Amino acid sequence: MKNWKKGLIGTAIISIGLFLAACSSSSTQDSTTKTSTQAGDKDTFTYAISGDPTSTNPINTSDRWGLTVTNMIYSPLVIVEADGTTQNALADSVEPAEDGLSLTVHLKKDVKWSDGEAFTAEDVVFTYEQKVKKENGNADALWVDGKPVSIEKVDDYTVKFVLPSASAAALNNIATETYIIPEHIYKDVTDFSVSELPETPVGTGPYKLKEYKRGEYFTFEANENYYGGEAAIKNVTLRIIESTDTAKVALQKGEVDAAVVLPSDIEDLDESMISVYPYTENRVGYLGLNTHSDALKDVKVRQAVLYALNKNEMNQAAYLSDEYFDTPYSFLPPNNPYATEDVEKYETNVEKAKELLQEAGVSNLQLNLAFTSTDPAQTIQATLIQQQLQQAGINVSLEGGDGTAIFTELKKAGSTKYNLFLGGYIMGNDPDLYGMLFKTDGSSNYFQTQNNTTDDLFAKAAVELDETKRKELYDQLQQAIADDARIYPIVDNKKILAVNNRIANVEEAGLIPIYTFEDMSKLTIK
């Protein structure tokens, strides 16, 4: 099968601490049920997650935990593996047209929704018709040259996507990361822009949602109609624990079966009880610069900030060993097939930083830096950035806070509240997906950028079907964004999952970016 390239945030912008909106308090139909299941229960797997989803609506969710929940309840047409290759889920086969103008998807037959109803092409058409609407909040990957992709039902088990113009990017991304919802359940919903759909979730994924209690837990039970076979573990609890230290203690006490840990935590874990699974997410953790703020409108000032920084010092302090991180230089992670290091790397040069400030006529530069205060790595990075910039005569005030609130503010057009901000994203392999971050009209243009050069390069590369020429355009794009000094890539850090040894088949369940497990139904209890 063609190596379809992965796209998250709607693909998704995902970060540890880069959450886009607050999710309203809710519970599902069994609102009286309490989370009586604990780690150690022979029928229950308990996973500690760090916060509530910003949305549980599969049409627009884009944060880590919202997508994790979605992946348990629903299924996409095509799943993207950790290495960027793909595996068919609800799709039986995918056929891109050679002219780049259409994509035909043949669907699996005999798939049932969790309520027993049959899955058909009408459900796919219904889902994409909602997803493509920009007002619903996550349509970027389904628009080409300012026009929407359309979808047609060919027969009960075949759909065809028609592009308004040729697009290599769209062909790579259309079939992935859109989770299909049942028309018979959601046909009367009038607003798909909300963070939570009003109906009880019905999906084709391995689990059914039993209850969600905001700030505390999700509980799930196995979907007996799952096309991949009924889950080996009957119940799953996602327990919300914001503090990494608290999650580690819960893991050590056997109160949870799995949690994400920091490199500094590993030596504290009992190997006889807990195993550690480090894996890459192709995530870029970065320092962002608000190009609209008065202090940073001049590109020379932004470049001065970057030359004063030392990412190696930050990474060694936060992640201890290069076993747990790689160093990016462009906006693409190092393992991305389009990534190049032929960009301005902004290797530490304090004197050059001072010269650029002088050329810009700037002295006594005062900046503020927003970061997620509950993120240990960001806390370390923020402190070091403050110290490093001070050496160039740049004064930085630290504004730690809630990641959701920070990025909600940054997303506002024209926002100038923060000069600098720490975040991260997992976007996938196809560089076009990053346009929502770096294009002037991008839905998540936190950098407040208006740059015709990079906008034009994004537009040209998206429709270029010749792979060699497309790679050249993305090389130019990476160089241009680096020269614009709107982002300082810091780290591609590995995610470290610690799991109680009573849980088996961890690697068989598939450790992948964002979702942790590709298919949690494959986990077993010894």
Strands (E), 113-222: 143-144, 147-148, 150-155, 158-162, 207-213, 217-222
The pLDDT assigned to 37 comes to 46
For 90, half-sphere exposure in the C-beta direction (CA atoms, 13 angstrom radius) is 31
DSSP assignment of 253-272: TTS-SEEE--GGGGGGS-TT
What tens digit of pLDDT does each residue of 272-289 get?
Answer: 999 999 998 999 999 999
Band the pLDDT of 17: cuts 50, 70, 90.
Answer: very low
Q: Which residue has the higher pLDDT, 216 or 170?
A: 216
What tens digit of pLDDT does each residue of 70-95 get?
Answer: 999 999 999 988 777 789 999 999 99
Domain 284-493 belongs to what architecture?
Roll (3.10)
The pLDDT assigned to 4 comes to 31
What tens digit of pLDDT does each residue of 185-217 get?
Answer: 999 999 999 999 999 999 999 999 999 999 999
Q: Is the pLDDT of residue 18 over 80?
A: no
Q: Which of 90, 132, 88 is nearest to 112 (CA)?
A: 90
Q: Which residue has the higher pLDDT, 108 or 99?
A: 108
Return the bridge partners of 162, or none: 102, 150
Q: Which of 134, 84, 289, 118 is nearest to 204 (CA)?
A: 118
The pLDDT assigned to 177 comes to 85
What tens digit of pLDDT does each residue of 400-411 get?
Answer: 999 989 999 999
Q: Is the pLDDT of residue 145 over 90?
A: no
The pLDDT assigned to 38 comes to 57
Return the bridge partners of 95, or none: 104
3-state per-residue secondary structure call for 26-90: CCCCCCCCCCCCCCCCCCEEEEEECCCCCCCCCCCCCCHHHHHHHHHHCCECEEECCCCCEEECC
The pLDDT assigned to 398 comes to 98
Tell me how far apart the terminal alpha carbons of the chain are, to the nearest angstrom.
Answer: 35
What tens digit of pLDDT does each residue of 336-347 get?
Answer: 999 999 999 999
The pLDDT assigned to 3 comes to 35
For the chain, give the mean pLDDT.
Answer: 91
Q: Can you give the pTM of this predicted structure?
A: 0.80
CA-to-CA dists, residue 243 to 218, 376, 413, 423, angstroms: 17, 9, 32, 18
Q: Is the pLDDT of residue 39 over 90?
A: no
CA-to-CA dists, residue 120 to 123, 189, 197, 328, angstroms: 6, 19, 21, 43
Q: Is the pLDDT of residue 464 over 60?
A: yes
Band the pLDDT of 223: cuts 50, 70, 90.
Answer: very high
Listed as own residue / partner, the contacts of 68-71 with beta carbons closer than 8 Å and 24 or more positions apart are 68/238, 68/514, 68/515, 68/516, 69/209, 69/218, 69/238, 70/179, 71/179, 71/205, 71/515
**Average pLDDT score over residue span 456-474:** 93
The pLDDT assigned to 22 comes to 29
The pLDDT assigned to 9 comes to 32
Q: Is the pLDDT of residue 353 over 70?
A: yes
Q: Is the pLDDT of residue 26 over 50?
A: no
Q: Is 199 exposed, middle or buried (0-12, 13-18, 19+ CB in 10 A)?
A: middle
Q: Which of 17-26, 193-202, 371-380 has the lowest mean pLDDT?
A: 17-26
Band the pLDDT of 218: cuts 50, 70, 90.
Answer: very high
Identity at 430, one-letter amino acid code = D
**Average pLDDT score over residue span 316-342:** 94
Band the pLDDT of 24: cuts 50, 70, 90.
Answer: very low
From CA 69, how far away is CA 455, in angstroms rounded? 34
